[in-house]
Every structure is written in structure tokens, then in C-alpha cells.
A and B are shown apart, each in its own frame.
Chain A
Amino acid sequence: MPHGLSPGGVSRRDWFRATAATAAATSAATAATPGQRAGKPALQVATNCEMCFWRCGALAKIQDGRVARIEGNPQHPLTLGRLCARGNAGHQTLYDPDRLKRPQLRTGARGEGRFQEVSWDQALDWFAARLTELKNKYGPESVAYLPHGASSGFFGTVMKAFGTPNSAEPAFAQCRGPREVGYALTFGRGVASPEPLDLANARAVVLIGSHIGENVFTSQVTQFSEGLARGAKLIVVDPRFSTAAAKADHWLPIRPGTDIALLLAWINVILSEELEDKEYLAKYAQGLDDLRAHVKPFTPEWASAETELPAGLIRDSARMMAAAKPAVVVHPGRHVTWYGDDTQRSRAMAILTALLGAWGRQGGILLPTTIKRGSFKTPPFPESKRGRADGAGTTYPLASEELGVSNGLIEATLTAKPYPIKGWVVYGQNVLESIPQRERTLSAIRLLDLLVVVDILPVEQTLYADLILPEATYLERYDAPHIVETAARPFISVRQPAVPPMYDSRPGWWIAKAMAARLGLEAWLPWKNPDEHLAKLIEPMGISLGELKARGAVAFEGRPTIEQRIEADGPLFPTESGKIELSSKLLKEIGHDAIPVYRPPADPPPGWFRLLYGRAPVHSFARTENNALLNGLMSENTVWMNDHSARDLGLAAGQRIVLQNADGNESLPISVQPTAAIRKDCVYMVHGFGQQAPGLHKANARGASDNALISRVAIDPIMGSTGMRVNFVRVKPEVQS
């Protein structure tokens, strides 16, 4: 291996022996034994899952040098030994025959898919030479980094050290950004991930578009289910009769895009009937009088006309949640980039949470507890005089400069403003499915001098890459540990390899270190191997590396409620006023509504439907559709259409149709699922299908991609996210030949 590096800085043989020793220790530490497989006793390695970002505790069971089975790790403090379908199927991604196996350099045209396999030495030398060229020609800021996943920090450090501030994750502007900003404006801190929702102790749960059950984060489902079993009331707002809606006390099939009207009416009911948590508000909140005056006109009767929900239902549901205060979880959602008013909708939800006294309360939304971590002394990152190119902090004043605005980066690449972006390093995500407006993304890629993709599978964007670097899967690598402060009991959980990397793949940390070495940036990753990195990190935690690796996760004492806070935890509400800001001075100062204002959405014209999308429990984004087990459970998506609408269009269940959007974009053929479980003004499909990647033999061209139909977005002016539920589609008329 180049530069004498190997996973762990030791030979592969030694490395495997060490892993086996860890595994044996784990085996002794947990009483668990392997599955039904007879024969030699299996080893097991405690790690965490990367089939989605929740990173549940997992035990990889090894037999004859292969991961034969993955089960939940009962010692994980949050997920308690449970794993979803994806977690149970993780080794099928490890053994996916379609995996990227060796570094590849493009030889054909972009998109053509012709590559030449090269050695890691050649690949990394080539990478460093191209990056240095870009730096000399356009400055280091001309290289942008678009990451997602557990190893992203290692590459992020290299990119910052290289001198570019341009890093952006779709986790912000295509997902939870508006929520983080909306809650931070209100409470002084965002919700963060995993969301610290005390669902098991809630007496009422309010879901606005959140489809728990179809969207599975293991512990969130467990706690949701426990809460309901203990008698929690459930209110579900969704244009679709979701799995959760079927469990609800009140289902509110809302007209899409009118959520702020509903929220203002709920606030109106709570304040006009004096159902708010008065003591909590008097102590902790400012702006109540302004809020009261603001919502006065927004009665349930007013909202009924906008939302198409009965006024009585709006009133009853408001009373139901108020009766349970303060043990109410108004779920802040996760993917919340819908209509472009998303920060304000999140604000309205945060305000509702405040009125119920539920922030920092048992059964509500819990407060994080800091875990002290050790760090190496590293030089400061070079400062860029040119600033960020994605508009975070400037065009989009409240966008996170840590997570960035990915669509802003694409815009900058297309326009060369404020300065040219000529290189992208993409890690752990497929930008053609994770970011809307595919055509713009493809146009931007065509303008690049350099596209480097680090991934485990030949997803569509690899066809356009100049250099493909095959990463080892999570079962073959160390990653930065998962340090979770947003849990009732904060914890650290470790990612460690169960088997050595297959083929010529390498762990992310190794690739990042090798890049740093080539670019002369070793000083920023000053550890020899992941053990050294991990040992430093846990130094102040009072735990041993051996214990952590054997157990997989270690929990600490938490202080998640207001009553439990101590001075060391810092201010309760780190806002400018030090209080909950029901009315936001900051928003007013930067020219936005201090209290959310409802603006009606456009309705689809007759014959058209609003395109809604969501998740299935057996897949994550566009990343798991090629997994043999999960593909066997769901190999393609369907389009949900109201059964009356389908009948009017003469469509039968299972009929293959093509959807067309207002810009003429067409989907791949998709089966119709006529159902009473959706409103007439919208259609719905699960995201992640309809991929156009011939190298993914199970997933290629199966079902339809919602993203292919999302050619329009509504940008949130406060923080730059892309509202994606603003596209109308129709069934493409059949062409008579």
C-alpha cells in the first residue's frame, strides 16, 4: 500500500488478528450467540449501522471470515438491540457484486461510463496533481466538497486544510435546515440529530407530514409505539392516510401547502381558550402579546377554508394536545424542505411547542447534554479572503456555514459567481438524486474541470466522474465514532470493521489521510491509525478504548429536562434575549416576518396533481435499492393516486404510466396504485427509485424517480433551502401511433 499505510497502520494479517481479538472480547462481553448456523462458533463485532444516518447499535456475526448476519446490539443505549429491515440486511451491501472495486479514471466522455482501472498510488497522485492545478489557477476555493455520512469529517478536514470554505451537505438545504434555523430562532438551539423527542413519555404526539413507520429510525419507532401503547393521543396531519394516520385519534388530511394556516389556527385556539402553559411562558418566553394579537384573526373557521379541514376538527385537535401539556411532542419533522416557507413553518411549530411548555420537559423535546471530547493540536485552517460561494451567511443570511447550501454551490458553479467553482469532491451521496433540479446539477458537472466521487456503489453520478475512489463499506472500516448529545442518556458508539476491506476498496479515513499526505496536509490529521484517533477523542470521557470497542457503545448521565439543568449546561435558551422568542427580533431585522404569516399556495390546474414523495421503511434515500435482500422486499415504487381520480382517468391498479411535469420532464414507467388513502389534488411516490445507473443491476431503471420530476423549487429566503413539493404532474397522454 502507498506510503506504508494500511488499515490501522499494521499489516492486513495483524489487522485481522486484532479484529478477531476484539471480536472475541465482544463475544465474551455479550451473552449473545449467532443465528441458526451450525458449526464453528461465530465471532461478533460490535459496531454501528450505516444503512441510514441513525447509526443503530449492531453486532456483526462473522462466520468463515464473512459477515453472516447482523443483529441489534442490546447494549446500545438508544436502539436497545433492535434493527430495522435495512440494518438486518447490511451485509448484502457488503457482498453486493456491483460494488466499486478499484480506483478508476475516466477515459470516455462524461456520462459515457468508460473508465480505466488504476492503482491507489496512481489515483491519489492524479488527484493531488489536479487539485494543485486548480489551486494554482483559480485558488483553493474553486474546489467544493459535497459530503454525507460518517466518514465525511475526515475529508472535510482535508478540504478545509486545503483552503476551501466551500462544503455543503444536502442534509441542510434539502432536508432539515429550515427546522434547525426555525427552532434556533425560537429556542436558541436547533433540534439536531437524532431528534431528542421523548415519544415514549409523551401524552400527545403531533405529526405534521412526519410518516413514522414508513420512515423508520429504529429507536424513534420503538418509542413512538411505546408512547401510543401507554395511551398517548396521536394527531396526524398528512394529505395521505399514512401508517401513522391509521393509528391516529385525529387524522387531518390537509390541503398541501397550508400547514402554517393550520398552525396559526391551533395557536389561536390555545391562546383564545387560555390553554397555554402560562407559568412556563411567564418564566421563559417573550413576545406573547405580539403573538396573541397576530393570531387573533386566524380562527379555525378561517383556517378551514384554506386547509379544507373541518373547523371542529382543528379545534378538537388543538384541545387534545393542550390537555396533554407539557408532555407533548410536536414532531419537528426531518425532511422539511417543502414549499419555500419552511423556516417559518418550523417557527410556527416551535412556537406551538413553546405554548404547550414542551421544550425541555419530560414527554416533550429534550435538551442535549454535552460530552467532553479530546482533540489533537492542529494548525488553524487557512482563511479564505473570498468567503463562501454558496451564499451561506450572505444571500441566505441564516444558512448554516457548517453544513452549507448545496444548491448554492451548484448555482455558483453554473454562474462562476462570486467566483469560479471548478472542482467537486463528492462523498457518500448521489447528487443526482439527493439534490433537486437534475438538469442544473448535470449542467454544473459539465462545467467542472474535476469531479471526484468517493462511494461504495456505481451510482449514477459515477458515470460523470473523472476519478472514482472505491470506499470500503461500514462493515469493513473504522469511522469517526457516533457521539450523541441529543438523547436522554447521551452516548458514544463506535464504528469498527467486522471484516477486512474487500477488493481494492479502502476506508474513508485511510483515503482522507492518503489525500492529506499527497497534498502536504498531514498536520491536520495527526494520528497514525483510528485507534489513536479514538483514544484521544475519548480521553476526557473516563472510559477505556477496550470497553468501548467491546460494548460498542457507552452511555453517560444526561440532564435532558429544564428541572435537571445545572449551571455548567449553559443558558437554557441561548437566544439573543435569553428567552424563548415567540416574536423574533432577528427575523424582523433581516426583513422577514417576526411571527409566521400564512401565504396560500398555488393549486394544481385541473388534470394535474401536486407531486408528494416520502420514504419506505425498507430503503434509505437512493442508497439501498440494489441490496439483494431489500430489493427482494421492495424492488420498485408505485404512484399513489386517489381511487376516484384514477377511475376518472381510466387507470386500473398496476397499470404502467409515465408522469410528466409542467416543464415536460418525464418519469420512467411506474405502476398506479389507486387508493382511498390520498387526497384528489396530489399523488405520492417513495423516493429513491428510477435510478439511471446501469452498474446497479438490481436497481437500474426500476420504478420512477421523484427527483426527475422536481425541476422547480421554492427557495427559502431565510436560509436558502429548496422547497421541493411545488411541482405539478399529470399522467402523460398515450401517443397513438
Chain B
Amino acid sequence: MARYAMVTDLTKCVGCQACTAACNSEWDVPPGHARTHVRPTGAVGKFPDLRSAFYVAQCNHCDDPPCVKPCPSGATFQADNGIVKVDRNLCIGCGFCVQACPYEARYLNPATQKVDKCDFCASRLERGRQPACVTTCTAHAKYFGDLEDSSGDIYRMVYTRGARRIESGEVKVGPNVYYLGRRGEPQLVAAMFPPRLPKLPAAGEWWSKVVKPLALALVGATFAGQAVAFFTQLRKGEGQFDE
């Protein structure tokens, strides 16, 4: 079984956001949200000794994904190939996984009320295509493939060219998006955008975001069932609903 990973070469990346636009278009991401972000570090240092880089951020499909456990409905899961997915049919939009992600890679889609995030364009992979961000990258800075294929680009970049993970002292969850950079760009990005500790839901949130909505949904379903029965009876001309 494959272990999918991505490498972004930050020396090549020019921060043009073609990846973000391609992704937003591929996945109908609403304006103001993204499955892959480009975050500039801004100029760091003292004029004229400056450095800057772009953090091309997305779901890291971590070895130990902190988003899976907090999901109350089981919508978030990790496939055998390492891709962390959200089953939209199961997602209840509680947002626990959004809080839990150390990389801020998830968002709650306001249109669907479901959580959305990068899945390495799994449906494109099934058709033998590369992720949309990779094929469009103007700087040819993004690479995608199987980390277990020792003859592949990804393997070489990670194991011989020293592509790095963005981790912090506190957060080491085995991200599978790696970064190359000849000028210390990955280190600069890690310093400027350290992953934050996963935030687990408080007890109160369980009540307000899971139990209550679920209960309401159950009540609603019951009520809806009764209503259907009521109107069915009306149409049949059987008079009022029998209490």
C-alpha cells in the first residue's frame, strides 16, 4: 500500500497562489476559505539583511492525525494510503477537528456546514492524475508521490535531499507534507508558523455541538415522520391524525 506525501520546494516557490486558485476552483471552496494556503513570512531581519519565504500550507495527512480522535461521528478517518479524509455524509459540522488540527488546515464550509480540507485530490489520484495544485504550480515547486517508492522523486527528496517537516518542540505528529529549501526557508517557516497544540473539545462543547444538535435532529426526524404521516392521512381523506 502506498504512503502518499507531498514535497514543496520553497526555494522555487514564488508565492503566486496558482495552487490556491486551482484548489479553490477544483473543490468549489467559498471565497475567504482555502484547502491550501500561501502565507508569506514577510521580511525578517534588518534592512538590507533580510530573508523571507512562503509557507504553502495544507493538510499534512499526519502519521498520527490529531483530528481523527476528536471526531464524534467518525467522519474523519485515515485511509490505508495515509490520506486523512472527511466523509461528508457523516460530518455533523461540530468543528472539533478544526480546533484539533495543529496546522489550521481545516475549515467549516459555511455553505454545506461540513468540514472540508485537502485530501491530496483523492478523486484525481483515482483517475491517475496528480493533485490540482501540483499540475498547475507555475514554479514547478510541488511534488507528489509515494513515500514508499524508493525509485520516486518524493523518496529521494525526503531521504536524500533532506526535505523537512514543519514541526515544533511540542507538536510532532508525523506530517507527510515536506519542504525543501536551499536558503533555510523551511526553518524560517517553522519559526514563523509553528504548529500549535491540538485543542480538544471541552465538556460543554460536547453538549452544545454534538449531543444537543443530535438530540434535536432526532426529535426533528421524529416530528418530520409524524408530519409525513399526518399529511399522508389527510390526502387519503382519513380525517384527523388519531392521537
Cα A677 to Cα B48 in complex, Å, equals 8
Q: How far is the CA of A218 from the CA of B25 in the complex (A)?
A: 18
Q: How far is the CA of A85 from the CA of B123 in the complex (A)?
A: 22
Q: Is the C-beta of B174 less than 8 angstroms from some C-beta in chain A?
A: no
Give complex CA distance A221, B19 in Å. Answer: 14
A247 partner residues in chain B, CB cutoff 8 A: 11, 183
Known: A36-B121, A618-B21, A676-B46. A88 touches B14 (CB 8 A): no
The answer on a CB contact under 8 Å between A229 and B9 is yes
Q: In the complex the two chains form, is B17's CB within 8 Å of A72's CB?
A: no
CB-CB under 8 A for A241 and B50, given A225-B12, A247-B11, A676-B43: yes
B25 touches A89 (CB 8 A): yes
Q: Which residue of A lies closest to B122 (CB)?
A: A36
Cβ-based interface call for A554 (8 A): no
Are B48 and A253 in contact, with the CB atoms below 8 A? yes
| A629 x B124 contact (CB < 8 A) | no
Q: Which residue of B lies closest to A245 (CB)?
A: B50
**B16 close to A (CB within 8 Å):** yes
Is B140 an interface position by the 8 A CB rule? yes
A676–B47 alpha-carbon span in the complex (Å): 6
Chain A residues 233 to 253 lying within 8 A of chain B, measured CB to CB, are 241, 243-247, 251, 253
B187 within 8 A of A: no
What residues of B have a CB within 8 angstroms of the CB of A241 in the complex? 43, 47-48, 50, 52
Partner of A72, one of B51, B121, B135: B135
Q: How far is the CA of A86 from the CA of B21 in the complex (A)?
A: 8
Given contacts A71-B135, A82-B138, whether A633 and B20 have CB atoms under 8 Å apart is: yes
**Min CB distance, B15 to chain A, in Å?**
6
Q: Which residues of B contact A65 (CB under 8 A)?
A: none
Chain A residues with CB under 8 Å of B193's CB are none
A59 vs B30: C-alpha distance in the bound complex, in angstroms? 23
Contacts of B48 on A, CB cut-off 8 Å? Answer: 241, 251, 253
A320 at interface by CB-CB < 8 Å: no
Is the CB–CB distance between A677 and B42 below 8 Å?
A: yes
B53 part of interface (Cβ distance < 8 Å): yes
A residues near B12, Cβ cutoff 8 Å:
225, 228-229
Instruction: Find chain A residues with CB under 8 A from B53 CB.
Output: 246
State how many angstroms separate the Cβ of A442 from the closest Cβ of chain B: 33
**Contact between chains at B141 and A82 (CB < 8 Å):** no
Give Cα distance in the complex from A247 to B50, angstroms.
11
A228-B12, A677-B50 as given contacts; A36 in contact with B139, CB under 8 Å: no
Asked whether, in the complex, the Cβ of B140 is within 8 Å of the Cβ of A33, the reply is no
Q: How far is the CA of A35 from the CA of B122 in the complex (A)?
A: 11
Known contacts A84-B16, A246-B51, A253-B47; is A225 also within 8 Å of B22 by CB? no
A618's partner among B17, B137, B141 (CB-CB below 8 A) is B17
Interface residues of A in 213-271 (CB under 8 A from B): 213-214, 216, 218, 221-222, 224-226, 228-229, 241, 243-247, 251, 253
Decide if B140 touches A222 in the complex (CB within 8 Å). yes
Say whether B137 contacts A82, CB under 8 Å.
yes
Is A393 close to B, CB under 8 A? no
Tier of interface size on chain B: 35 or more
Asked if A628 lies at the interface with its beta carbon under 8 angstroms from chain B, I say yes
Shortest Cβ distance from residue B42 to the other chain A in the assembled complex, whole angstroms: 6
A676 near B138 with CB under 8 A, answer no
B231 to chain A minimum Cβ distance, whole angstroms, is 32
Is A631 an interface position by the 8 A CB rule? yes
Bound-complex Cα distance A72 to B25 (A): 13
Q: Does A21 count as interface, using CB distance less than 8 angstroms? A: no
Please provide the chain A residues from 570 to 617 with a CB less than 8 Å away from any CB of chain B in the complex. Answer: 617
Contact of A85 among B16, B42, B51, B140 (CB under 8 A): B16
Q: Does B169 contact A (CB under 8 A)?
A: no
CB-contact partner of A243 in B15, B20, B124, B136, under 8 A: B15
- Bound form: Cα–Cα A222–B12 in Å: 9
Q: Is B237 an interface residue (CB 8 A)?
A: no
A31-43 near B? 1/0 per residue, CB < 8 Å: 0110110000000
Asked if residues B138 and A222 are in contact (CB atoms below 8 Å), the reply is: yes
- With A82-B140, A88-B136, A676-B46 known to touch, is A221 a contact of B123 (CB < 8 Å)? no
Question: Among B30, B47, B137, which residue has the most Cβ atoms of chain A within 10 A?
Answer: B47
B9, B18, B32, most chain A CB atoms within 10 A: B18
Assess whether A84 is in contact with B43, with CB atoms less than 8 Å apart.
no
Are A630 and B21 also in contact (CB < 8 A) when A222-B140, A617-B14 are?
A: yes
Determine whether the beta carbon of B25 is less than 8 Å from that of A629: yes
Q: How far apart are B208's CB and chain A's nearest CB, in angstroms?
A: 30
Contact, CB under 8 Å: A36 / B123 = yes
Interface residues on A, range: 35 or more
Residue of A nearest to B45 (CB): A676
Q: Report yes or no: B17 in contact with A617, Cβ–Cβ below 8 A.
A: yes
Bound: A633/B123 CA distance, A = 25
Interface residues of B in 1-57 (CB under 8 A from A): 9, 11-12, 14-18, 20-22, 24-27, 30-32, 42-43, 45-48, 50-53
Interface membership of B156, Cβ < 8 A: no
CA distance A617 to B19 in the complex (A): 12
| Nearest CB of chain A from residue B215's CB, rounded to whole Å | 33
**Whole-angstrom distance between the alpha carbons of A244 and B14 in the complex?**
8
Residue of B nearest to A243 (CB): B14
Residues of A within 8 A of B136 (CB): 71-72, 81-84, 87-88
CB of A675 within 8 Å of the partner chain: yes
Tell me whether A225 and B132 are in contact in the complex, defined as CB-CB below 8 angstroms, given that A36-B27, A82-B140, A241-B50 are known contacts: no
Given contacts A629-B21, A631-B31, contact A36 B26 (CB under 8 A): yes
Cβ 8 A contact of A246, one of B21, B25, B30, B50? B50
Residue B212 interfacial (CB < 8 Å)? no
Cβ–Cβ contact A69 & B129, under 8 A: no
Which positions 66-105 of chain A face chain B at CB distance < 8 Å? Answer: 69-72, 81-89, 91
Q: Does residue A212 face the partner (Cβ distance < 8 Å to B)?
A: yes
Report whether A35 and B18 are in contact in the complex, using a CB–CB cutoff of 8 Å.
no
A89 to B28, CA, bound (A): 11
Docked pose: A672 CA to B141 CA in angstroms: 31
A664 interface residue, CB < 8 Å from B? Answer: no
Residues of B within 8 A of A244 (CB): 14
Q: CA–CA, A91 to B25, complex, Å?
A: 9
Interface contact B18-A82, CB-CB below 8 Å: yes
The reply on B236 being an interface residue by CB < 8 A is: no
List, in ascending order, chain B residues with CB within 8 A of A618's CB: 16-17, 21
Residues of chain B lying within 8 A (CB to CB) of residue A633: 17, 20-21
Closest Cβ of chain A to B39, distance in Å, is 12
Does B127 have its Cβ within 8 Å of any Cβ on chain A? Answer: yes
Docked Cα-Cα span, A617 to B9, in Å, equals 18
Asked whether A69 and B26 contact (CB < 8 A) given A35-B124, A82-B18, the answer is yes
Which listed residue, B25, B50, B135, touches A81 by the CB 8 Å rule? B135
A563 to B137, CA, bound (A): 33
Which residues on the B side are within 8 Å of A213 (C-beta)?
A: 14-16, 139
Most chain B CB atoms below 10 A, which of A35, A222, A243 = A35
Which residues on A sit within 8 Å (CB–CB) of B141? 225
Q: How far is the CA of A84 from the CA of B16 in the complex (A)?
A: 7
- 1/0 per residue, CB under 8 A from B, across A656-685: the answer is 000000000000000000011101000000
Between B16, B30, B124, the greatest number of chain A beta carbons within 10 A of the residue's beta carbon is seen for B16
Chain A residues in 8 Å Cβ range of B27: 36
| B interface, CB within 8 angstroms of A | 9, 11-12, 14-18, 20-22, 24-27, 30-32, 42-43, 45-48, 50-53, 121, 123-124, 127, 129, 132, 135-141, 183
With contacts A241-B48, A629-B25, A675-B43 known, what are 11 further pairs, Cβ within 8 A?
A69-B25, A71-B132, A83-B18, A88-B136, A213-B16, A228-B12, A241-B50, A243-B15, A246-B51, A246-B52, A631-B31
11 A–B contacts from the bound complex (CB under 8 Å) = A36-B121, A72-B135, A81-B136, A83-B18, A86-B21, A214-B14, A226-B140, A228-B11, A229-B12, A246-B51, A676-B50
3 pairs of A and B residues whose beta carbons are closest in the complex: A632-B31, A213-B14, A85-B21
A residues with a Cβ closer than 8 A to B are: 32-33, 35-36, 69-72, 81-89, 91, 212-214, 216, 218, 221-222, 224-226, 228-229, 241, 243-247, 251, 253, 617-618, 628-633, 642, 675-677, 679
